[in-house]
Each structure stands twice: as structure tokens, then as C-alpha cells.
Structure 1
Amino acid sequence: MTTVRALIATTVKKSWLISQLDVNNAFLHGDLNEEVYMQVPPGLVLEKPGLVCKLNKSLYGLKHASRQWYAKLTEALYSRGYTHSMYDYSLFYKRNGSDSVYIAVYVDDVLFLHEQFKIKDLGQLHYFLGLEVMYKEDVIIISQRKFALNLLKEYDCLEHKTCSSPLDPNVKLKAKEGAVLQDSTYYRKLVGKLNFLTNTRLDIAYGVQHLSQFMQKPREPHLKAAFHLLRYLKNDPTLGIFMSKDGDHTVRAYCDSDWAACLDSRRSISGYLALLGNSPIRWKSKKQETISLSSAEPEYRALRKVVGELVWLRMLFEELTVPFSLPISVYCDSQSALHIARNPVFHKRTKHIEVECHFVRDQLQAGLISLQHIRTDDQLADVLTKPFTGIKHSAALGKLSVFATPPT
């Protein structure tokens, strides 16, 4: 989904046209390279009993179908001069002088493919992979308003009181406190749907990450916290990402971490955010793999995660011909973590940190990134590492370009 957001952000900044098309019966176009047999369909009379059918083409429901359709589509695009992206195999592109066409595997160009596939032109992109795309003057807005409203309706939350923050900062959840739920599937299904909402709702990314820790054996306090998040969604289910048509093609990133906040494992939570101009295109909230011995360590590990993402984003944006300059500013509120990154000397308090984390130093010396200190109050990634009070959470939304979607 990061590539989709990057494409849309690039589209609005470059005033490109973005259209949606659909291939009719796409999976039926795939050629089978393996022998696959099926039972004779009802109603087909055979001369000899005991015969079966050998498939020459894919069918819906066949495990090979999606792979073979992808191979067929790739072959068709190659024959028309398209090139595979080296950094996301769901993306193809073709350039002719100053003109460019970009195609994702779920989108086909009607002008180039109509001879081989029957295509339905759906016009300007408005609804895509569960994302609603709205056009307002010089802004494209991505939201999941319909999905959020359906979710509230499914769990009977339309009449509930609203909450001003995704999680109650005064409630500390533990894995083994409270009565075990009789139906754990109910909780898992709810959290899974909330996780899908994080494709546009980075304001709930930390809350969903926190709830996801209890999927194995959910308990009543966990379900109560999940419904607290639903009540927060009811507060404004129309929130979405605003991608503005400004001239700012600067890529910048923010990273943050708490320290040993998980009461069960004492592991830390990392959060990072990457923006193109003021448009958020990539974010993550995740528990770290190891326990940190000081507050600087998780911050340094968070740096490692965001720098790895920036290496990939740089190459992707180069393919998208997005003009941005190096180094990319990475903002961190830990002076100690910045000192570890800038100082290649091993010290007794940091020599145990994994070698892979020093990837940050390599990219700093190579000129890909520049490390900047930022005040904690200005740290945009802070919302991805801990629960906020309602007032503080609301104040963070505008800085993240998350606003209510205007009526259509």
C-alpha cells in the first residue's frame, strides 16, 4: 500500500491524470504450465465413464490462477514496452520523452491492452482497494470513510458515546489479566479490520499495534480497549490523509521509540513516519525484537528501521521521476541515539548493539541521510509509540495532514 500512496502523492504534485480500469475475468487469461485436472462439470455427458477434464487455462479458485494471471499480464506489458519496477513488482512504467505512464498490477491501460484483454474503463480513480479517493481543488484526499462506518454498524457502535483518543492512556493492558474471551475469533476479526483501517488512519496505528499483541489469547480488558478504539472512530469516521499540490518534493522522516513500555516483555515500541512534502506516505508502529538496556538503544533501533525504509523509497521515487535532493532529513528527539550514529567508536555501553543497526552510520557517511535533533513536542512519530490524551492527540492530527473529509 506504500507504493499506492506514493503514486497518489506524486500524481497530485505533478498534476498527472490517474484512472482506474478493470480487466474482465482476469484469472481466466492465465496459461497453465502444470498438469491440472478437474471433475466433469454437472450436465456434461461423456461417451466413456471415468474421464476427467484437463485444464488448459486457469480458473477462479485454482491456487495457480493469480500467479498465472500475473505472468500473462507481465508478458503483455513487456510486449508494449513497459518495464518492471526493480523496487516493487506490482508496478510497471513506460517513458516516452517527457511523458510517463505508470501501471500497478491491478490497473491496466485501456489504450495498450484492449487487443489482448477485454477491459472496462472505470474513469477517474475514486474507489480502490478499499480506499476512497476524493479530489478537492489542489488536494487529493484518501480515506476509508465507508469502511469505518460499516465497521461501526457491524459492531453496533453507531449509538455509543465517542472517545477523544484511540486508547485510554490510563489503562495498562497485560496479556494475562482479565477473563479469557469465550470466542477469541470475535476479537481477532475486529482487530484485523481495525488493522486494515491503518492504511489511511495513521492516528490509530499505535492503538491497533497494541491490541494486536493479544491475538493469541484475548481477554475482556483487551476487547474493552478495542471497543474504546471503535468509539474513537465514531468521533469522526471521515478522517483521511490530505495530499496537497504544493511544490515541495522534499522527503523527510521522523522516528521515535518508548523504552520498555510493554508490561509483559519489557520490549520497546518503535514508530516512524516518512513524508513527501507534507503528505504522509509510509508509517509504522511495531514492537522491537529485543530488550533494550538503555533509553538510547530503542531510539537507535528505530533509526535503523526508518533508514532502511528510506533507502527503498529513494529508489522508488527515482523510478517515479520525483525530484528530491539528498540528504534526507531524519528527525529524532534522542541526542544519545544521534551520538551513537555519528560516532563509529565502540563503547562498553553500546558495543552489544547489533551490527545491523550500524547500517545507519553507513547511510549517514554515504550522504543519503542527515540526522537532525527535534524537540519531543515537535516529534511527529510520537503518536506511533504511545497513547495520547484527547487534547494532545487532536493537536497531532493536523501536523500529520489527517483531517476530516469534506462532504461530496
Structure 2
Amino acid sequence: MKIYGYRQSNADHTLFLKRRKRKVIVLIIYIDDMIITGDDTEDIDKLKHYLSTEFEMKDLGGLKYFLGIEVARSQQGIFLSQRKYVLDLLNETGMLACKPADTPIVQNHNLEILPDQVPTNKDRYQRLVGRLIYLSHTRPDIAYAISVVSQFMHSPSEVHMEAVMRILQYLKSTPGKGLMFSKHGHLQIEGFTDADWAGNRTDRRSTSGYFTFVGGNLVTWRSKKQKVCSLSSAEAEYQSMVHGICEMLWIRKLLKELGFMAKDAMKLYCDNQAAIDIANNPVQHDRTKHVEIDRHFINEKLESNVISVPHVKADEQLTDVLTKAVSRQVFSDSLDKLGIGDIYSPT
């Protein structure tokens, strides 16, 4: 691709770009599958011809299916889901006729490893969780549940397998849930970040989560247990903010390579006022010295107007579903706000 005049992206090495007369072509490669898009139709045809002379390949036309992801187009936008993947998984596990569940994880769950727990089939557990981890790349609604069950891969018990079965029961009720990407007239980068302080009962570590949006559309998310214990809720939120900012900086860099320059500061919404005050305070105190590097990093981005950290009310915080198990009503409302829906469900 480099010989043919394409430049490899620094933000994503599977992405290749070519510009010609203010037009752009984008090529995404994953092993032997690829997607070509752009607004230079003439050069796209030339690229297809060039690739066909180098490799044995087949043009499948407009994008409909890629790496298990189904693509549907309408006047509302582009919808991504993994409905077939979910149905195949349910069929393989014998859960196609199971009783559906409203949420992927039980509220106030307790999945500690205790001496008297009955062990389960480790290979089957790891195989199922691995399949679910792949699915969570397009299903933010199961991201937190997957982050919980994946912590017990080394020594799963029947209790943990029951939690995995609960996720499959939830998928039975929502096999076609996915993401809708629509035009909103802008390409602003925004993020929501949150942390559940000392939520893990085994080691009292916190769980961080973030959602990032581009042009009003959800593009990336993450739910992950923090590597160290936090001494306060503000510290836990602060570490979560750093992860969110790093993700937004990566998205900003990727958009710049595609030719879209950010005009305004990226907004990272946080519901912890103490963490926001620390971020905006250039003076170090004894109670913040253990997060000194994180503090300097955030403060540097604030001073350079790369980001801003506005406060969001707790009931408007979208990231709760990535840090804790919530009630059915809160879970449903959060998915609606995130733009997660199911075009296959009857209306």
C-alpha cells in the first residue's frame, strides 16, 4: 500500500489513507478482509484493480457484513449489530430457548472466589467468556458484565458460570441490539467518565468506565477494574478521567489524519466535583501527591484548551452502566440515551 501511494495511519496501523485533489480514500485491513471508503470514486476503482492484480480477491459490493458485524442502512443512518453472531452463540450453547433476562448482571452481585465454591469446566468458561469479550466490542450494554466475569478466568466456579449464563439470557432478550450512527451536523468529541469507588468486594479496587462520542454518536467505551486501590472516591474518579482523556486524544489524532481538525475543546463530563476541582487547581496538596502525574497530565490539557471538564448531574451520568450493576429501569434509560437500540424488534 505504501508503494502505491498510501500512508499508514499513526493512530491505527490497520488504516491506510490517500489524498488527491482534496479528496480522500480510506482502506481498513484486518488479515485478509478489508473495507474501502472515501469520496474519490475514480481512485477507488483504480485501487480495486491494483489489489486484484496483487492478490486473489473478490469485491462483495456495499458493506453489509464485516468480522461478524452486520451493517444496515436507512434514512436515519447506519446501524451496526451482531445479531447473527448472538443467535449462533445461543444455539451453540443450548440457550436459544432459555428464559430471557432484563439486564446482563444481577444488581448487588457477589462473585468473589471462596474456598467452598464448586469449580466449573474451566475450558468451557474461558471459551464462552472469550466469545462474549469479542461481542462486547459492539455491545456496550454488556461491557460491565463482561469485565466482571473475565476476572475469574483462572479459577471459575459454578457461581461464575451462572453469571455467564445470565449474560446469555440477556442476549436472548436483545439479540439485535446495536449502535445507530446518524448525522447531527457536527463532529465534536465528547466523553463521559465515572468510577465506582471500592466496588470490588474481594480487593476493594474501583471500576473505571468511559463513553466517548463523535458528532453525537457513541464510538468507543471501556469498563475496567483499576490496577491499584484508591483512597477516596475523588482519586478513583481522577484515574478514570485520565483513561477517558487518553481515549479522546487518540480519537482527535485519528480525526486529524482523516482531515477533520477539532475547533473547540473536547468536553469530558464528570459527576465528581472534588475531582474536577483537583483537575483545575494548579497547586499540589499532600492529599493529591499520590496522583501527581495524573494531575499534571490533566492540568496540562486543560491549560492548553485541549479539553474542558464540565460537571454533570449524577442522574445524567451515562457511565453508571459501565461501573456497577444498576436497576432495570436505570439500565433501560441509559441505553436509550446512548443511542443503543434494536431495529429488528417489533414496534
Q: Same fold (TM over 0.5)?
A: yes
Question: Separation in 1 of the partners of 2:214 and 2:271?
Answer: 21
Aligned CA distance change for structure 1 residues 82 and 160 (closer, same or farther; 3 Å):
same
How much is the aligned-residue C-alpha RMSD, in angstroms?
1.6
Does the 8 Å contact 2:193/2:269 carry over to 1? Answer: yes
Does the 8 Å contact 2:120/2:156 carry over to 1? Answer: no
Aligned-partner SS, 2:78: strand
Aligned-partner SS, 1:78: coil
Residue 21 of structure 2 corresponds to which residue in structure 1? Answer: 97
Q: Which runs of 5+ in 1 are unaligned?
A: 1-76
Match of 1:328 among 250, 258, 266: 266
**Residue 111 (structure 1) aligned with residue 35 (structure 2):** no
**Residue 139 (structure 1) aligned with residue 77 (structure 2):** yes
Aligned-partner SS, 1:336: helix
Residue 78 of structure 1 corresponds to which residue in structure 2? Answer: 2
Does the 8 Å contact 1:301/1:357 carry over to 2? Answer: no
Residue 66 of structure 2 corresponds to which residue in structure 1? Answer: 128
Q: CA offset at residue 140 of structure 1?
A: 0.5
Aligned positions of 1:26-45 closer than 5 A: none
Residue 16 of structure 1 corresponds to which residue in structure 2? Answer: none
Question: Separation in 2 of the partners of 1:351 and 1:363?
Answer: 19
Question: Separation in 2 of the partners of 1:252 and 1:189?
Answer: 35
Question: Partner amino acid for 2:77?
Answer: V
Does the 8 Å contact 1:268/1:287 carry over to 2? Answer: yes
Residue 160 of structure 1 corresponds to which residue in structure 2? Answer: 98
Q: Which runs of 5+ in 2 are unaligned?
A: 37-46
Does the 8 Å contact 2:320/2:326 carry over to 1? Answer: no
Residue 41 of structure 2 corresponds to which residue in structure 1? Answer: none
Q: CA offset at residue 323 of structure 1?
A: 4.7
Q: CA offset at residue 178 of structure 1?
A: 5.1
Match of 2:129 among 180, 191, 214: 191
Match of 1:398 among 307, 320, 336: 336
Q: CA offset at residue 128 of structure 1?
A: 0.5
Residue 172 of structure 2 corresponds to which residue in structure 1? Answer: 234
Question: Separation in 1 of the partners of 2:56 and 2:96?
Answer: 42
Question: Partner amino acid for 1:395?
Answer: D
Match of 2:256 among 309, 318, 340: 318
Residue 44 of structure 2 corresponds to which residue in structure 1? Answer: none
Aligned positions of 1:7-406 closer than 5 A: 77-106=1-30, 107=34, 109-176=47-114, 179-406=117-344
| Deviation digits for residues 204-253 of structure 1 (CA, Å, limit 9, x no counterpart) | 10000011111110011111111111111111110000001231211100
Does the 8 Å contact 1:177/1:219 carry over to 2? Answer: no
Q: CA offset at residue 357 of structure 1?
A: 4.7
Aligned-partner SS, 1:140: strand
| Deviation digits for residues 231-280 of structure 1 (CA, Å, limit 9, x no counterpart) | 11111110000001231211100100010011111100000011112211
| Deviation digits for residues 311-363 of structure 1 (CA, Å, limit 9, x no counterpart) | 11111001112354220010000000001111121112211225245311111
Question: Separation in 1 of the partners of 2:294 and 2:98?
Answer: 47
Aligned-partner SS, 1:355: helix
Q: CA offset at residue 402 of structure 1?
A: 0.5
Aligned-partner SS, 2:193: strand
Question: Separation in 2 of the partners of 1:114 and 1:155?
Answer: 40
TM-score, scaled to structure 1: 0.78
Does the 8 Å contact 1:304/1:358 carry over to 2? Answer: no
Does the 8 Å contact 2:125/2:156 carry over to 1? Answer: yes
Does the 8 Å contact 1:132/1:143 carry over to 2? Answer: yes
Q: Which one has a bigger Cα radius of gyration?
A: 1
Question: Separation in 1 of the partners of 2:98 and 2:52?
Answer: 50
Aligned CA distance change for structure 1 residues 358 and 177 (closer, same or farther; 3 Å):
farther
Question: Separation in 1 of the partners of 2:71 and 2:154?
Answer: 35
Question: Separation in 2 of the partners of 1:299 and 1:257?
Answer: 5
Does the 8 Å contact 1:254/1:332 carry over to 2? Answer: yes
Question: Separation in 1 of the partners of 2:243 and 2:140?
Answer: 17
How many residues align? The count is: 332
Runs (4+) of structure 1 exceeding 6 A deviation are none
Does the 8 Å contact 1:180/1:217 carry over to 2? Answer: no
